[in-house]
Structure formats: structure tokens, C-alpha cells
Amino acid sequence: MSMIRNLLKRMPATSLKRPVTHWQGKDFSPKTKSVNHIIHKNVQNVNKNLNGTILPYMTKGKTIKGFQRGSKSLGTPTANFPEEVVDELPPSLPTGVYFGWASVDGGPIYKMVMSVGWNPFYNNEKKSMETHILHTFEEDFYGSELKVVMVGYIRPEKNFKSLDDLISAIKSDIDTAHEQLEKPEYQIYKDNEFFKPTLQNGHVNGLVNGTER
């Protein structure tokens, strides 16, 4: 709770240009309804400050091997970005779980959820961006180019009492992503120019963070 309060204090109040993302996460820990209601409202407030300012956030990079925990322990394989991509994140972007769209090597665009931060349950020493694409791939795609558009915020990162609690939270995040990304205000980003390669001077370029590279 203190982390959310600090986030809200640091973020300037902005007018909404897009509808607010509503947190639809399920209660995956033994908390009272009143506490969950407060968290719900605070996460909504975080989204009010993110939408139209930091979000949508677009980035791309070559995928690397991560901690190998997603597939083995959690049942949710992830694609990880290298440090240089993580280091480009805006300092004002809160850590936590986001939802959006992803594409591998210019292929189909799929729904995704992404964890940004240090993953308190595993005490990571380095900040990471771990993307779980909501699609089953036949093979690993390490070294492939991954493009992502983060369009909404689900929850702050937190520690969990057990692995089962973490897995339950991840499943709730995935359900939230599926539901939110069906909304028209988020569907439009699936057709964003960022995902469409353009040929300039013999080179394929894309839009990253609103500018061409």
C-alpha cells in the first residue's frame, strides 16, 4: 500500500485522453473486501496518471534467456528483454504487471502480460521486463526481435507467501489481460504503425516510443 501511495504522490494529475483501465484482478490472497476496494481504487488512480502520459509505451529488442522459471515452475514461459531495453524505461513508469500487445519477428500480433521490476518473490538483483505472450509457440524464439506495446496497468509487484499464491496471481493477471484487451480502446493498438515495418533507404524501421528508429 505504501508503494502505491508513493507512486500517486510522485505522479502529476493529468486529464484523461482515453478510458481508464479498470483493475479486474481476482482476490488471490486472504484480504478483506475493504482492503481490496482501496487497492482497486488506487490502481485505477495509477492508470489515470499513466494513460495519455507514459502509456501506451512501445519498445522492441532481441529476446534473451531469462531465469528459466516461467516454463518450469510457473507454467507461463516468458520472453525477456536485454538490459539496454530495460534501462530505457521511463523512470516514472511504476513497476508491476502490465497488459498489451506483442509480435515476434514481424509475425502475428498477440495479447501479452508483462512483469516489470525485480520480482520480490525471487529477490531478483536486476530489474527485468518479462513478457508472457498469450499464445502457444512450437519453439523458443531466443534472439528474435520482440515488439511490445504496453497499454494498461494491472497491479503493482508484490511478494507472495507461496509459489501457489504467485501462480494464482499470474492466472488472474492473464484473465485480466484477456478481458481488457477485448475493449475497443485497446484493440486499436493492435493495428498501430509500430507493428508495421516500413522500408526507408533500404532498411526496415519501426516506431519506438513514438519516434522512428
212 is catalytic: no
Chain-centre distance for alpha carbon 141: 19
CA distance 211 to 20: 25
- Domain-embedded: residue 158: yes
124-147 pLDDT per residue, tens? 778 999 999 999 887 888 899 999
- Domain-embedded: residue 24: no
- Please state the φ and ψ torsions of residue 197, each to the nearest 5 degrees: -65, 145
- Domain-embedded: residue 6: no
What pTM was computed for the model? 0.70
- Domain-embedded: residue 7: no
Query: Could you say which of 84, 130, 138, 185 is catalytic?
Result: 130
- Domain-embedded: residue 114: yes
Q: Are 49 and 83 in contact (CB under 8 A)?
A: no
pLDDT confidence band for 20 (50 / 70 / 90): very low
* Residue 7 grid cell: 507512486
CA distance 179 to 138: 25
The CATH code of the domain that includes 157 is 2.40.30.30
| DSSP letters spanning 155-210 | E-----SSHHHHHHHHHHHHHHHHHHTTSHHHHGGGG-GGGS-EEETTEEE-EETT
Total of domains in the chain: 1
51-100 pLDDT per residue, tens? 666 899 999 999 998 665 544 566 788 899 999 999 999 998 999 999 99
Residue 142: which domain range? 58-194
- Domain-embedded: residue 10: no
Q: Are 118 and 95 in contact (CB under 8 A)?
A: yes
- Domain-embedded: residue 102: yes
pLDDT of 205 strictly over 90: no
Please give the mean pLDDT across all residues of the chain: 75
- Domain-embedded: residue 162: yes
